[in-house]
Amino acid sequence: MKEKNIKQGLWAATAPSKPKLISIQRDQRTDVAIIGGGYTGLSAALHLAKMGKESVVLEAEDIGYGGAGRNVGLVNAGLWLMPEDLIELAGPEYGNRLIKVLGDSPDLVFELIEEHGIECEVLRNGTLHCADSKKGYKILQQREEQWLKRGALVRLFGRDEAASKTGSNSFYGALLDKRAGTIQPLAYAYGLANAALKAGAQLYNHSPVIGFEKTREGWKLNTPTGTLTANSVIIAVPAYPNYAFKSNKKSMVRMNFFQFATQPLSKDILKTVLPERQGAWDTNLILSSYRLDAAGRLIVGSVGTVEGFAYNLHENWVKRTISKTFPQIGEPQLEYGWYGTFAMTSNHIPRFHVLDKNMAMVTSYNGRGIGPGTVFGKLLAEYITGGSPEDIPLPVSKTESIWSRNLWGLFYEAGARLYHFVQRRI
Ligand SMILES: Cc1cc2nc3c(=O)[nH]c(=O)nc-3n(C[C@H](O)[C@H](O)[C@H](O)COP(=O)(O)OP(=O)(O)OC[C@H]3O[C@@H](n4cnc5c(N)ncnc54)[C@H](O)[C@@H]3O)c2cc1C
């Protein structure tokens, strides 16, 4: 085991060096203040700078401290929901707009990576959604049918082709989505930050917003080391709301997801494990993810934290899972283990809140935030500088406080521990 960093693990160890940022030091003014230095905030800052607008990002910790620096790195198209379910839940107007905007969201991510020369282990060769049961295969058939109707580049493989695409006999089939790909997620966040800085945005680390008030001069945001007064504010703190936004935790289910990475696999083994290097995940309720990094480490993830005793429990489950799913690897040597938290909503659709005429946020990407965060950052930048709420493909929602959602999160956490304790022991 390399140095233990259960927050960002492998991604912190292999990302290019961090953008060098200080904390806000004095009382400053700007056009748009952005709270949170993840994909949403950084994309907003970059797009504002491209529009010639002044902006300042205040990040409580370091750039990429939240989900942006901890996730699996699957640049997926669309939400978890199948297109027809989304239309049923969101209605045809918002449903169809969301399907289009989020279905195309990988394009924006890959374009920005290319335009700004972001070094983030980028690969656009699709992702594989793998059926771990007959029921899962039926769900993939429905997904394929619904996406094909909309002209998406998806293709369902049966058992044999799934085995050759994944290098595992564990799956009943797999849906290849060619719109998607993989990145090193923290490196992408650093790249967006550097691009935003170069385009003229200002970014501060260790500058938590601990309170805010409306003054005659605009919104005044307070941090321990200085204040920022702005005409408009974008709040981009989704599953890591802290300090002034701590109470937001009550309005969402916060879901934990861990990952463990092996040592780099040998060249021969790499020919047989995800040989085309697609990122993959399965159809199980307690889902598992599988991907390789550029150095050839296999990264396996699933639901749960790795705080305290849960570390060993999930680490052992990962070892058993690798031995059963990819027996060609033999006894796996794990180098890194870490976890993060993402925000869920009851219907799996993100929320758009307009807290005041000049203060807005989009939150809760339900575990799919690379494409959506990048796109909603751009759309929020356009909205906050004179656009209309109608330009965002989400209805404006009230903030909610739903206790049952926290129970739901706890249910998943306890369920995942039990499942990982008993699964694959025989
Ligand atoms: C383990 C895991 C796996 C995932 N896998 C995938 C995946 O494979 N593909 C995918 O598309 N998505 C995935 N996601 C989801 C994705 O990472 C998130 O949706 C995405 O990071 C959201 O980006 P964001 O900028 O909106 O928020 P975040 O990245 O969470 O950033 C929010 C930032 O706000 C800061 N902040 C909080 N409070 C304050 C304050 N008061 N003042 C200043 N700053 C503050 C935080 O420190 C944080 O840096 C995963 C998430 C996790 C945790």
Rounded to whole angstroms, how far apart are CA atoms 263 and 259? 13
Of all protein residues, the one whose alpha carbon is nearest to atom 48 of ligand 1 is 66
- Amino acid type, 148: L
What is the pairing mode between strands 298-303 and 253-262? antiparallel
Cβ of 76 below 6 Å from ligand 1: yes
Of all protein residues, the one whose alpha carbon is nearest to atom 25 of ligand 1 is 38
Full-model pTM? 0.94
Cβ of 245 below 6 Å from ligand 1: yes
Model pLDDT, residue 1: 63
Of all protein residues, the one whose alpha carbon is nearest to atom 22 of ligand 1 is 369
Cβ of 373 below 6 Å from ligand 1: yes
Cβ of 59 below 6 Å from ligand 1: yes
Model pLDDT, residue 403: 38
Cβ of 109 below 6 Å from ligand 1: no
Rounded to whole angstroms, how far apart are CA atoms 314 and 417? 7
Atom of ligand 1 nearest to the CA of 257: 1
Tell me, in angstroms, the distance from the centre of ligand 1 to residue 68's CA: 5
Atom of ligand 1 nearest to the CA of 61: 47
Rounded to whole angstroms, how far apart are CA atoms 168 and 322? 10
Q: Which helix (H) or strand (E) holds 323?
A: helix 310-325
Nearest Cα neighbor of 179 from 32, 82, 94, 278 is 278
Atom of ligand 1 nearest to the CA of 281: 8
Cβ of 106 below 6 Å from ligand 1: no
Rounded to whole angstroms, how far apart are CA atoms 280 and 377? 26
Three-class DSSP category at 237: coil
Q: Are 273 and 72 in contact (CB under 8 A)?
A: no
Model pLDDT, residue 346: 83
Alpha helices per DSSP H over 150-213: 159-166, 185-199
What stretches of 47-193 adopt beta strand conformation (E)? Answer: 55-58, 74-75, 127-131, 154-157, 173-177, 181-182
Tell me, in angstroms, the distance from the centre of ligand 1 to residue 61's CA: 12
Residue 90 CB neighbour total at 10 angstroms: 21
pLDDT tens for 15-29 read: 998 999 999 999 999
Radius of gyration of the CA atoms of the chain, in A = 21
Pull the structure tokens for residue 302.
């699933």
pLDDT tens for 289-314 read: 999 999 999 999 999 999 999 999 99
Rounded to whole angstroms, how far apart are CA atoms 402 and 253? 9
In terms of residues, how long is the chain? 426
Model pLDDT, residue 115: 98
Model pLDDT, residue 406: 46
CA-angle at 214, arms to 210 and 220, nearest 5° = 45
- Consecutive 10-residue runs of the chain (426 residues): their mean pLDDT? 80 95 97 98 98 97 96 95 95 96 97 98 98 97 97 97 98 98 98 98 96 92 96 87 62 87 98 98 95 98 94 96 97 96 89 89 92 98 94 83 44 60 58
Cβ of 393 below 6 Å from ligand 1: no
Q: Are 367 and 257 in contact (CB under 8 A)?
A: yes
Atom of ligand 1 nearest to the CA of 376: 26
Rounded to whole angstroms, how far apart are CA atoms 124 and 114? 12
What stretches of 198-329 adopt beta strand conformation (E)? Answer: 202-204, 211-215, 218-223, 226-235, 253-262, 279-282, 288-292, 298-303
Model pLDDT, residue 397: 85
